[in-house]
Structure 1
C-alpha cells in the first residue's frame, strides 16, 4: 500500500476489492433516486449523515437546505427526486483512503422531467445537470456507509424549477 501526503490530508491507495466496493456507492445512490427506493438509501447512509447540495443549488438559483441525519435525508431526498422522471448516469468514479475513512468522487449526469412527462416527446420542460458528487465514507461493521454527500454543479441546461416540482 502506498501513502502520499497532500496539503490537506493523507491519502492511501486502496486494494482493488475495496475500491470496487466503494465505487458501487454512487451507482446505488443514483439507483435509489431514480427508483425512489428508500431502502437502498437506508443501507447506504450512516445515522448522522449530512447531505449538502448547496454548492450546486446556489449556482442554479435554488435554495435547498443542508440535510442532517438519515431520518431527515431519506424522506427528503425520496420526496424531492422520487416523484420526478429521472435518470442519473454516473461515471469517472474514484475512491481513495483517508485517515479515518474514504473519499469517493464521481461525475453524475442527471436528467429530470416532471412526473409522467419523461417519455413524452412533446414535453420539453426539463432540468439536465452535469454534477460532481463527493461521498465521505466511514467503515462500519456493516460495510462502508456514506457519512457526508456533497453535490456541485458543473453545468445546467433547462428549467431548474423542475427540480422543485415534487416539493412545491
Structure 2
C-alpha cells in the first residue's frame, strides 16, 4: 500500500487567528452598526458581492465597491436592523500575502428594536456561504473580495429591505 500526501501552502496559527478576526470585524461591524469596524476588515478597493445570496430570495443586488461604498450601503441597510452574525466552518489557504477563505455565516435579522421582543416573529434568518480573497496588511488581514451565496433562508425577506 502506498501512502499519498498532498502539499498545502503553510498557514500559521497566527494567520488563522488574524483571518478569523477579519471575518469577526466584518460581521461585528454589521451587527453593531459600526462603520469604522466594518471598514477595518476591508481593503480600499474591496468588492462585496451579495448578489448570489439576494437573488436566491428574489432580489437583484449589484456588487458593492470600493470600501467606502461597501460600508455606506451595508451600514445603511443592515446597521439599523437588530442582527447577529455567527461565523463557523472557517477554512483557509495562504499563499504568501494572499488567502482564500471559505466560511459559513448564519445571520438573524429583526426589524429595528424588535430583536429582544419575545413576541417578534417577523425575521429573516439566512445561512450564507462566504468565499473571500484576503490580503495581508501588516499584522492584519483584510477582505479584498467577498462573495456571499445563500445556502438556505427562513422568514420574511422584506425585513432585509426595511419594509
Aligned match of 2:52: 55
TM-score normalized with structure 2 length: 0.90
Q: Is the 8 A contact 1:23 1:104 kept in 2?
A: no
Measured after TM superposition, the shift of residue 103 of structure 1 is: 1.1
Structure 1 position 81 matched with structure 2 position 107: no
User: After the TM superposition, which segments of 4 or more aligned residues of structure 1 sit over 6 Å from their partners?
Assistant: none
In structure 2, runs of 5+ residues without a counterpart are none
Partner Cα distance (2:161, 2:18) in 1? 32
What secondary structure is seen at the aligned counterpart in 1 of 2:70? helix
Measured after TM superposition, the shift of residue 106 of structure 1 is: 1.2
Find 2:106's aligned residue among 106, 109, 112: 109
What secondary structure is seen at the aligned counterpart in 2 of 1:58? helix
In structure 1, runs of 5+ residues without a counterpart are 5-10
TM-score normalized with structure 1 length: 0.87
CA RMSD of aligned residues (A): 1.8
Partner Cα distance (1:129, 1:152) in 2? 10
Q: Where do residues 4-83 of structure 1 align in structure 2 (5 Å cutoff)?
A: 4=7, 12-83=9-80
Q: Is the 8 A contact 1:3 1:12 kept in 2?
A: no
Q: Is the 8 A contact 2:128 2:151 kept in 1?
A: yes
Partner Cα distance (2:140, 2:20) in 1? 13
